[in-house]
C-alpha cells in the first residue's frame, strides 16, 4: 500500500499514513493559460489508525499546493480538561466552553485575528461574570486581581492579551498564529483556575475529615528532643 506523510490530530503532528484511496482531477483554461488539479486522498494514520481525507489543490499560478484536511487539522489540541469543563459549567457560565471552542475552531481554520478577538471576548466575559461589570476595562481587571482570581504577574499577562485583542479589532493588527497560542495559553490557565481548580479544592476540603479538637497542651513535651 502507498505511504505518505500527513498531519494527524490524534497523534499531534506529521505522521506516516497509508493511502487507502486516491482520486485526482485536473482542469485547464487555454484562453488564460492557467491550469490546476485537485487530489483527494483517504488516509489511515500508521500511529493511531485514524481516518481522514486530504485535499491537495495545485494551481499553475501558485508555487505551493494548498493542503486541507477533513476533519480540519488541529495545530493546538484543546486541553485534557476541556470536556470536564463543559460538564462543570452551569447556567450563565456555559458561555466559557462555547467561546473557547469557537476559538479552537478559528485556529483550526487559520483565522488568527478572529481567534484573538475571541480570546479577548472570552476573558472579558469571564471577568464580568466573576466580579460584575465595574464600568471600564481597567476597573474590571483591577477587581479581578483584588478578589484573587489572578496574581499580579498573571494580571500583566492578561492585560497584554486584552491589548492584542483590542489592537486586532481597532488598529489593524494582524496577529501571528504563535501570538494566538500565547494568548490561548494564558486564557486556558485563567479558565482552569477560575472554573475547575476552585471547585476541585472546595470538593477536596469537603472530603478531608476535620481535625479533632486539640487536647490541652502539656507544659513539657512528652518526647524531649535529644540533645
Residues in contact with Zn ion, total (CB under 5 A)? 7
Q: CB 12 → Zn ion: shortest distance, Å?
A: 8
Give the binding range for Zn ion (CB under 5 A) out of 1-9, 20-28, 121-129, 218-226: 1-9
Does 73 engage in binding with Zn ion (CB under 5 A)? no
Annotate 208-218 with b (16+ C-beta within 10 A) or e (fewer).
eeeeeeeeeee
Asked if residue 11 binds Zn ion (CB under 5 A), the reply is yes
C-alpha cell at 47: 500511529
Chosen residue from 6, 45, 141, 180 binding Zn ion by CB under 5 A: 45
Please report, as residue ranges, which positions from 125 to 184 form the binding site for Zn ion (by CB under 5 A): none
Q: From the CB of residue 165, how many other CB atoms can be counted at a distance below 10 Å?
A: 23
Q: How far is CA 40 from CA 15, 70, 108, 220, in A?
A: 18, 11, 20, 83
Comparison of 4 and 10: residue with beta carbon closer to Zn ion: 10
The answer to whether 146 and 107 have CB atoms below 8 angstroms apart is: no
Q: Does residue 14 touch Zn ion according to CB under 5 A?
A: no
Residue 186 cell numbers, joined:
494564558
CA angle 157, 162, 167 (to 5 degrees): 125
Cβ proximity to Zn ion, 53 vs 147, nearer residue: 53
Helices 137-146 and 112-131 pack at an angle, to 10 degrees, of 60
Closest approach of Zn ion to the CB of residue 73, in Å: 12
8 binds Zn ion (CB under 5 A): yes
Among 3, 4, 5, 10, binds Zn ion (CB under 5 A): 10
What's the min distance (Å) between Cβ of 9 and Zn ion? 7
By CB under 5 A, name the one of 48, 51, 156, 160 that touches Zn ion. 48
Question: Least distance in Å: CB of 100 to Zn ion?
Answer: 24
Q: What is the spatial distance between Cα 57 and Cα 66, in angstroms, rounded to a whole number?
A: 5
Residue 47 touches Zn ion, criterion: CB under 5 A: yes
SS3 content of the chain, % helix, strand, coil (to 5): 45, 20, 35
Residues at the interface with Zn ion (CB under 5 A) = 8, 10-11, 45, 47-48, 50
Amino acid at each position: 500500500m502507498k505511504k505518505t506523510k500527513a498531519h494527524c490530530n490524534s497523534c499531534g503532528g506529521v505522521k506516516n499514513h497509508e493511502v487507502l484511496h486516491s482520486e485526482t482531477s485536473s482542469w485547464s483554461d487555454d484562453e488564460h493559460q492557467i491550469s490546476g488539479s485537485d487530489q483527494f486522498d483517504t488516509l489511515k494514520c500508521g500511529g493511531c489508525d485514524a481516518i481522514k481525507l486530504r485535499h491537495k489543490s495545485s494551481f499553475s499560478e501558485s508555487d505551493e499546493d494548498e493542503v486541507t484536511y477533513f476533519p480540519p487539522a488541529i495545530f493546538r489540541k484543546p486541553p485534557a480538561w476541556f470536556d470536564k469543563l463543559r460538564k462543570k459549567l452551569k447556567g450563565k457560565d456555559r458561555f466559557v466552553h462555547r467561546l473557547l471552542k469557537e476559538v479552537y475552531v478559528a485556529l483550526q481554520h487559520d483565522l488568527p485575528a478572529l481567534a484573538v478577538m475571541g480570546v479577548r471576548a472570552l476573558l472579558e466575559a469571564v471577568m464580568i461574570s466573576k466580579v460584575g461589570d465595574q464600568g471600564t476595562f481597567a476597573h474590571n481587571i483591577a477587581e479581578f486581581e483584588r478578589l484573587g482570581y489572578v496574581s499580579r504577574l498573571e494580571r500583566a499577562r492578561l492585560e497584554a492579551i486584552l491589548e492584542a485583542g483590542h489592537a486586532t479589532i481597532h488598529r489593524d493588527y494582524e496577529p501571528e498564529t504563535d501570538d494566538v497560542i500565547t494568548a490561548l495559553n494564558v486564557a486556558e490557565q485563567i479558565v482552569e483556575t477560575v472554573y475547575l481548580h476552585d471547585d476541585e479544592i472546595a470538593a477536596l476540603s469537603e472530603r478531608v475529615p476535620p481535625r479533632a479538637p486539640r487536647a490541652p497542651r502539656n507544659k513539657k513535651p512528652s518526647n524531649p528532643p535529644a540533645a
